[in-house]
Amino acid sequence: MCGGVTLGKGKSGMKEEKLKELLKNMSLKDKAGQLVQLTGNCFTTADAETGPAADLGIPQDMVYRTGSILNVVGADKLKEVQDQYLEKNPPKIPMLFMADVINGFRTIMPIPLGQGCSFDPELVQEAAQVAAKEASSAGVQVTFSPMVDLVRDARWGRVMESTGEDPCLNSAMGLAMVRGYQGEGLDQPGTVASCVKHFAVYGAPEAGRDYNLVDMSEKRLREEYLPAYETAIKEGGAAMVMTSFNSLNGIPATGNSWLMQDLLRKEWGFEGTLITDYAAIFELLNHGVVKDKREASAMAMKCGVDIDMVTDCYANELEKLVQDGVISREALDEAVYRVLKLKNDLGLFENPIRYADKQLEEKLCCCEEHRTVSRKLAQESCVLLKNKGILPLKKAGQKVALMGALADSQEICGAWSLFYKPEEVVTLKQGMEAKAPLCSTSWGCDMLDAWPKWISFANTEFCGREDQSDSIQEAVQKAKEADVVVMTLGELAQQTGEGTSRGNLELADCQKQLFDAVYQVNPHIVVVLFTGRPLDIRYIDGRAEAILVAWQPGTEGGNAIADLLYGDAEPSGKLSMSFPYCTGQEPVYYAHYRTGRPATRGVKQRFCSSYQDIPNEPLYPFGYGLGYTTFEISVPEVDKAEFAAGDSLQVNATVKNTGDRAGCEVVQLYVKDCVSSTERPVKELKGFERVELKPGESRKVSFTLSEKDFAFFRVDGTWGMEAGEFELYVGSDSDTENKIQVCCRN
């Protein structure tokens, strides 16, 4: 149910034998150079051979042999870089241009964690297609996306880049992004090669601390953490894979031959290019598994790592390793051939700058059509956690006070929006005022009491004032004059992304003070939560009359949120990741095991798997989200209550809009294996469907389950299902108890 179709491959470029001929005629140094990736500033600063490249330790005769660069964009700039490079590159092989186009290029989409909440792979694919069109017109040929790491611990700041905690949803979203980026083939205009990352299991660092170790059984890996990579690679046809920083079971991913050779290359048959994450080959020394760069380079090469991202390891060690026979010439040639093949698939030998075109770039970037996609996806990504009738707002006869540091901010695009122009972003204030006048807008409070010393971003205006009483009092005054307060709370974009783990997920104290002070004079508060991760929002959850999670919604964020607040669009988002009761609950996720002493919800018991001081259940579970209307889902029916392994099973349910407004329900299908030879989760998502219904309208939703939906990784190391009872749940979130029992008799 969470699979997809295989894509065509690029048909462009020279014939294989010609490519092999090119390879044969390359010098050892030329070959080594193809496996080096440098930062773009090595080629955009005047002293290319003595500046950043030299600082990196790259020998001068290697700079113009470099196979690729990252994160320089712009049609004109990349044409200039390519021309200058090809003049000096001995074998005249074009350089590859790669970039982090994670949630949009210039038209920014919601952060991936928000996109996951849309449960709309088709729209996510369209958004990736928009990103590819814009990026390729600006000269980008490869994007380091999708990030399909499964995430279940919000202390880890990179959850914002993932589409959440569930393997089925992650697989569907990762596949959609690969399809959006690569289209019908890399020889087609408006496409970029997709690089799936971070392989593997980077999203499960111990204690939620970035770059920390991952220790996990093969069962868990295969059932939960690997499916999304596998789907993106085997079904999506992703052209590239990026290794992850973490170690897996004691061996760093970048030097882990089980991951890179046994699993990725042999079992999954991946023939594309494997690149490391930033400086990950050098970091093998920090991991303590090698003693020097020579050993690090050998370890990575033996794992089939093709490109060394921004270290001097391959640049300085590869030739010697081959001459000393540590790395065979065949292994080197295989790696170089994969890079040449990617360049060939992209058509670089015909046109070294591919689809880069300044006029096209200016025409496409942030055009109305692309903004429309961004606005729709942002609408579908927002999740309404609570609404005591205060929403939708009225456009007339209601005085609305907007407040908060992000109320009129363009910094709502997330940490990985590297190429956007803030002036192109619609703020919440702008979006709301386009619909109805606000009676006031006020700062309220900073986002943070004190800015983490190590963050050097220019967000100082958002944080750190000792005494915020003046702005809080001003907000209180404005709240007194209003019927309703719309208050922005949460996180700044730079508080999530790489290297932003947190030990405390609560709102900043100043935000709590603002809420308390305003609540005293006007309890009618709608909280708009801008955040890159689930937070501990207990402090406001019981008192806010509505809570809308906006994530970091992107270029059209202000319009999309206003559309929802005023009812011009219906909230339909469903949480792609659980909101914890508190930080101490992390990692918290719906597909948990039962244990030998399962707790009973709401019942305080000592000798069971529970806490003395907090519940087991998250504040809001995976799959949860409200709309402005209500829905009923019938008890599921099946075409057969008994089935044999290998049979397909039809599961039907009727959804009815029982409210007075049109709306969209995301109907979710979960499977529970009641008894099996290993522990299994209490339920697992196996299908979902967005159903748009008018008031009173009903529709039958059908899901087809096949053997692979019941299969799991068994003790003997095989995949398969087992006879026995299963429960099939159909509901509007992972807490549903709306189920039917079926039995597999053999």
| Residues 668 and 721: beta-carbon distance below 8 Å | no
How many CB atoms within 10 Å of residue 474? 15
Q: Which two tokens stand for residue 357?
A: 């075109």
Whose Cβ is closer to ligand GLC: residue 102's or residue 667's? 102
How far are the Cα atoms of 189, 385, 566, 645, 647 from residue 331, in angstroms, in the given order? 33, 53, 61, 43, 44
Q: How many residues bind ligand GLC (CB under 6 A)?
A: 7
Per CB under 6 A, 498 contacts ligand GLC: yes
CB-CB contact of 321 with 301 (8 Å): yes
| Contacts to ligand GLC from residues 87-106, by CB under 6 A | 100
Cβ 156 to ligand GLC shortest distance, Å: 12
User: Which CB, 148 or 412, lies closer to ligand GLC?
Assistant: 148
Query: What residues have CB less than 8 Å from 585, skipping those under 6 apart?
Result: 611, 614, 616, 618
For the chain, the residue count is: 746
Contact between residue 551 and residue 110 where contact means Cβ atoms under 8 Å apart: yes
Rank residues 252 and 731 by Cβ distance to ligand GLC and give the closer one: 252
CB of 44 to ligand GLC, least distance (A): 16
Residues from 102 through 141 that contact ligand GLC (CB under 6 A): none
Pattern 51-80, binding to ligand GLC, x per CB under 6 A?
A: -------------------x----------
Query: CA 293 to CA 393: how far, in whole Å?
Result: 61
- Out of 197, 341, 343, 672, name the contact with ligand GLC by CB under 6 A: 197
We find the least distance from the C-beta atom of residue 69 to ligand GLC, in angstroms, to be 11
Residue closer to ligand GLC (CB basis): 197 or 683:
197
CA distances from 633 to 120, 163, 664 (A): 20, 26, 13
Among 224, 277, 361, 446, binds ligand GLC (CB under 6 A): 277
The radius of gyration of the chain's CA atoms, rounded to the nearest angstrom, is 26
- Beta bridge partners of residue 657, listed in sequence order: 631
Residue 100 or 536: which CB sits closer to ligand GLC?
100
Contact 343, 90 (CB under 8 A): no
CB of 243 to ligand GLC, least distance (A): 10
Which residue shows structure tokens 């961004």?
A: 374
CB of 68 to ligand GLC, least distance (A): 12
Closest contact distance (angstroms) between CB of 39 and ligand GLC is: 9
Point out the catalytic residue in the list 100, 120, 153, 277. Answer: 277
Q: Site for ligand GLC (CB under 6 A): which residue of 211, 258, 268, 278?
A: 278
Residue 523: enclosing H or E segment and its boundaries? none
Work out which of 144, 515, 581, 710 binds ligand GLC, going by CB under 6 A: 144
405 token code pair: 């540091």
If DSSP codes are grouped into helix, strand and coil, which group holds residue 702? strand
Residue carrying the six token digits 């995301």: 666
Q: Which is nearer to ligand GLC, 140 or 482 (CB)?
A: 140
Question: Could you tell me the smallest distance in angstroms from the CB atom of residue 159 to ligand GLC?
Answer: 13
User: How do 251-252 and 247-248 pair as beta strands?
Assistant: antiparallel
Active site residue 277: yes
Give all strands (DSSP E) within 71-207, no chain letters: 96-99, 142-143, 193-199
Q: Which two tokens stand for residue 545?
A: 């009359």
Look at residues 659, 657, 656, 699 and name the one whose alpha carbon lies nearest to residue 392. Answer: 659
Environment class of 441 (CB within 10 Å of its CB; exposed 0-12, middle 13-18, buried 19+): buried
Q: Give the nearer residue to ligand GLC in terms of CB position, either 100 or 411.
A: 100
Burial of 326 (0-12, 13-18, 19+ CB in 10 A): middle
Strands 142-143 and 96-99: parallel
725 three-state secondary structure: strand
For the bound state, the minimum distance from the C-beta of residue 240 to ligand GLC, rounded and expressed in Å, comes to: 11
Minimum Å gap between C-beta 144 and ligand GLC is 3
Q: 383 - beta bridge partners?
A: 549
Task: Report, as residue numbers or ranges, the catalytic residues.
Answer: 277
Binding site residues, ligand GLC, CB under 6 A: 70, 100, 144, 197, 277-278, 498
